[in-house]
Structure 1
Amino acid sequence: MSTTTATSTTAAAATAAPAPTTSLNVLIIGSGIAGPVLAMTLLRLGHTVTIYERGVSGGDSYRGAWITFQANGMDALRAIDASGTIEEIGYVLDTISFVNGAGKSLGAMPMAAPREDGTKSRIMRRSDLFVALAREAASRGARVEYEKELVDATTLPDGRVKAVFKDGTSAIGDLLVGADGIHSRVRTLIDPDAQKPRYVPVLNTGGYIPNFPLHTAPETMTMQFGTRCFFGWCATPDGGAVWFANPPLADEPARGILSSKSDADWRAWLHELHDGDAGPAGALIDAAVGPLSGWATYDLPAVRKWHNGAMVIIGDAAHATSPSSGQGASMAIEDAVILGKCLRDCPSTRSALDTFVSLRKERVEKIVAYGARSANSKAAGPVARVFRDLLLPWVFWYAARDGGKGMQWLQGYHIDWDDKVVPVESG
């Protein structure tokens, strides 16, 4: 496997690539993860870019959620010389250790496939990643307009696209990119009958606790297949702890149900779910920084139509995966860089979009399926738990024996910026 080496992030490096023959004016909807990375990629190529974000400036809190940022995401950032600031965020994770509700070890395995460049996975606060990417994009000249909620977009007779926002303003560009998340408006504008998000039958909650020492191995996340709930924890080098819980909930909660639960409600429910299980779950729940809240999780198994020639979707708008895969952020970043390469190397915008879909669809749908299987194993019933606890030690033993190479397809993915994209024939 070929890998790159870390490169310091500089504005000069960002503009080192030659400008394209035809400069595009690109409208990006959404300033989460995919949007700023795509902006950096396109600015590197000499295109004009504006990001339109429906939220307010500095308004992203994301409920304190933490994510695992895999090495393939860092690799994709290195392809555009944008990894420097991200490599300083969060904490390294090298190993996953699994136990059952009684605290019995089910085995351990590498967090990610080994890479020749030594890059490892990191756990970080989602909002920290958002802020770092936004700042890096701004330092390279990306412009963001806030409080711009997209309500409509149409293709003009000359092939350009017009975006209309809720405040009555509009913008015209050569290409509109929907990086607007799992509930993407752009996806439904491209295809009114587009696939809708699928509820994953587990909720998510968690956070970071300062000054909470855990006597666990360094760079190790312990994951517990509890009697009634999946729970995870790891110690951080600064003496704190990161934790999460995935309470099972078979039916999708109605709007407002989860937000109406108080901090005390969440703590009481989590204690009930973990009552009788071995380990630090109870102490972590008591010490967790409040107010506690939780949220439903969704994925997007397959989207029939990713683009219409003037509009295209990337990231969660095209292929949201369950958090269990640990790949949502990394897939979005891969998308952004590869779309830029396609626009660089293909003879037309339509050819670039067709080629982009051909390069991404199989990989991302495989990852979404992998995440769904992982999430469903967390919500196993009493009978399924018995078989799971018998089978998993063999699965983890095999994964540890091959050093994680069986996951090479997932985290070992590499993007070489200098490799030329081979265009597919446009329909």
Structure 2
Amino acid sequence: MSIRSAIVIGGGISGPVTATALRLAGIDATVFEAYPGPAYGIGSNLALAPNGVAALDIVGAGDAVRARAVPISRSAMSVNGKRFELPGMADIEPLRVIDRADLHQVLHDNAVAAGVPFAYDKRLVEVEEHAGGVTAVFADGSSATADVLIGADGIRSSVRTLVDPKAPAPTYLRMLGFGAYTDCPVELEPETMTFAFGRRAYYLYWAMPDGRVAWGANLPSEQYYSLTEARAVPAERWLRTLRETYAGEDPGEQLARSTTPAQLAVIGALHIMPPVPHWHRGRMVLTGDAIHAPSNTSGQGASLAIESGIELARCLRDIDDPAMAFATYEALRRPRVEGVAARVARMNQTKAAGPIARKAMQLMMPLMFKRMDPEKMLGAEQRFRIDWDATVRPAAVPV
């Protein structure tokens, strides 16, 4: 019996994309979101790699994202104030940096245009599986029934716990995230992102088309602050800490001093997801950050979430048995997402490197860049394309 309906838990990035792809596959999908409305205003900005934008083209959202995003065609690295140009790849679309709220709105509006219904104030509390499918029960007492349930509910996924009560929790990177768009009198090259390893903390920055400067900070912190806890701290206090941290950095000090409390976006604790042993159980399956959230260093977090939602829809379109469809989806995706996570695992440590390690980085960088082959390092990641029209064959899954 073919799969005709799906419940999608989570209305951020992967949820609307997955639901839109399911609609394209002929499967009715409804998105249920715990927030009272579309999750605009959560976070600051994020990067979409060429593979992620190409995946958005499949669901019809690529051009809308391009229209709102800032293209980044070049990158550089700065260590203790010494700047190095990074080699790039030829014949590839630029990185696209977009405000998270803008991305949420584009994906939501694109899903609605495709016929996807959204239901808000729906916090999942229980899932009941039965012969006819699966029923989601929400905190307000309402429920919904479909053939399958998809957990696209982020790094703190409730569905992940239902799939596997022993599933690992996200790993805190001992860094807090901040971002801002600010008016700062520094000369920056257009379409260029600089990754700066300051004496005390890592940050990155790039020019906006309107003359402002966008920047993000990763502040080392042994103390954990959730998003709610971090935002409970007055922005003035965080700015004071950022200004002390980046004092003497060029242009870190100028960026921190130019940023106003109203401009500062507080993100709180930064996490990664360790490998998740079980991606599915029965009629439930996970996608996006619920199972793979690599470090923001990867530049692939949102792109991989988008890809996975589309690949899941392909599997459910072409394979009638949910268990086999889920197993095939996992076989398609796990090697790719865990490969990206492995590539960036060591890079996280350099963000909080001490002064001696940073001096060594400064001395080694010129030699490293001469030997760097961006095509070999990133080509397979960024040139990856989903063939939507190809039929998915069931994977040979060991029993």
Residues in 1 aligned to 2:17 and 2:225: alpha-carbon distance in whole angstroms: 33
Residues in 2 aligned to 1:308 and 1:89: alpha-carbon distance in whole angstroms: 38
Paired residue for 2:93?
A: 119
Confirm or deny that 1:418 pairs with 2:389.
Answer: yes
Alignment of 1:267-346 (within 5 A): 267-277=239-249, 279-291=250-262, 292=264, 293-346=266-319
Confirm or deny that 1:137 pairs with 2:111.
Answer: yes
Residues in 2 aligned to 1:195 and 1:386: alpha-carbon distance in whole angstroms: 36
Confirm or deny that 1:374 pairs with 2:347.
Answer: yes
Distance 1:254 1:238, change over 3 A: closer
* Offset of residue 226 of structure 1: 0.3
Confirm or deny that 1:62 pairs with 2:42.
Answer: yes
Note if contact 2:39-2:104 (Cα within 8 Å) is conserved in structure 1.
no
Confirm or deny that 1:246 pairs with 2:251.
Answer: no
Q: Which moved more, 1:31-40 or 1:80-89?
A: 80-89
What secondary structure, in the 3-state scheme, does the structure 1 residue paired with 2:209 have? coil
Residues in 2 aligned to 1:132 and 1:27: alpha-carbon distance in whole angstroms: 21
Confirm or deny that 1:105 pairs with 2:83.
Answer: yes
- Among candidates 59, 65, 70, match of residue 91 of structure 1: 70
What secondary structure, in the 3-state scheme, does the structure 2 residue paired with 1:264 have? helix
Deviations 1:143-194 (A, max 9, x none): 00000000111211x1511111010111111000000000000000010000
Deviations 1:78-103 (A, max 9, x none): 233331211211210011111122x2
Paired residue type of 1:204? G
Note if contact 2:135-2:143 (Cα within 8 Å) is conserved in structure 1.
yes
Residues in 2 aligned to 1:341 and 1:155: alpha-carbon distance in whole angstroms: 23
Paired residue type of 1:227? R
Note if contact 1:80-1:417 (Cα within 8 Å) is conserved in structure 2.
no
Paired residue type of 2:284? M
Deviations 1:23-69 (A, max 9, x none): 51100000111111111111112111110000012452114x11111
Mind listing any 5+ residue stretches in structure 1 that lack a counterpart?
1-20
* Offset of residue 296 of structure 1: 0.7
Q: Which moved more, 1:219-228 or 1:339-348?
A: 339-348
Paired residue for 2:190?
A: 218
Paired residue for 2:150?
A: 177
Paired residue type of 1:406? M
Paired residue for 1:358?
A: 331
Normalised TM-score (structure 2): 0.94
Normalised TM-score (structure 1): 0.88
Paired residue type of 2:200? R
Q: How many percent of aligned residue pairs carry the same amino acid?
A: 35
Q: Which moved more, 1:341-350 or 1:162-171?
A: 341-350
* Offset of residue 334 of structure 1: 0.3
Residues in 1 aligned to 2:217 and 2:367: alpha-carbon distance in whole angstroms: 25
* Offset of residue 383 of structure 1: 2.7
Distance 1:161 1:294, change over 3 A: closer
Paired residue for 1:26?
A: 6
Paired residue for 1:4?
A: none
Paired residue type of 2:353? A
Note if contact 1:232-1:245 (Cα within 8 Å) is conserved in structure 2.
yes
Deviations 1:197-230 (A, max 9, x none): 1011221101212x54541222101121100011
Confirm or deny that 1:146 pairs with 2:120.
Answer: yes
Confirm or deny that 1:265 pairs with 2:237.
Answer: yes
Note if contact 1:351-1:425 (Cα within 8 Å) is conserved in structure 2.
no
Residues in 2 aligned to 1:255 and 1:37: alpha-carbon distance in whole angstroms: 24
Deviations 1:347-396 (A, max 9, x none): 42211100000011111112223333222210112332232222333233
Note if contact 1:29-1:178 (Cα within 8 Å) is conserved in structure 2.
yes
What secondary structure, in the 3-state scheme, does the structure 2 residue paired with 1:109 have? coil
Q: Let me know the Cα RMSD of the aligned residues.
A: 1.9
Q: Which moved more, 1:257-266 or 1:168-177?
A: 257-266
Note if contact 2:11-2:38 (Cα within 8 Å) is conserved in structure 1.
no
What secondary structure, in the 3-state scheme, does the structure 2 residue paired with 1:28 have? strand
Note if contact 2:227-2:268 (Cα within 8 Å) is conserved in structure 1.
no
Deviations 1:276-318 (A, max 9, x none): 22x1222222222424334110011200100013000000001
Paired residue type of 1:224? A
Note if contact 1:202-1:375 (Cα within 8 Å) is conserved in structure 2.
no
What secondary structure, in the 3-state scheme, does the structure 2 residue paired with 1:55 have? coil
What secondary structure, in the 3-state scheme, does the structure 2 residue paired with 1:344 have? helix
* Offset of residue 403 of structure 1: 5.2
Alignment of 1:162-201 (within 5 A): 162-201=135-174
Note if contact 2:82-2:362 (Cα within 8 Å) is conserved in structure 1.
no
What secondary structure, in the 3-state scheme, does the structure 2 residue paired with 1:85 have? helix
Note if contact 2:2-2:321 (Cα within 8 Å) is conserved in structure 1.
no
* Offset of residue 109 of structure 1: 3.0
Paired residue type of 1:145? A
Note if contact 1:309-1:353 (Cα within 8 Å) is conserved in structure 2.
no
Residues in 2 aligned to 1:218 and 1:259: alpha-carbon distance in whole angstroms: 32
Distance 1:58 1:38, change over 3 A: closer
Residues in 2 aligned to 1:224 and 1:213: alpha-carbon distance in whole angstroms: 18
Note if contact 1:207-1:242 (Cα within 8 Å) is conserved in structure 2.
yes
Distance 1:135 1:155, change over 3 A: same
- Among candidates 53, 58, 67, match of residue 74 of structure 1: 53
Residues in 2 aligned to 1:397 and 1:421: alpha-carbon distance in whole angstroms: 41
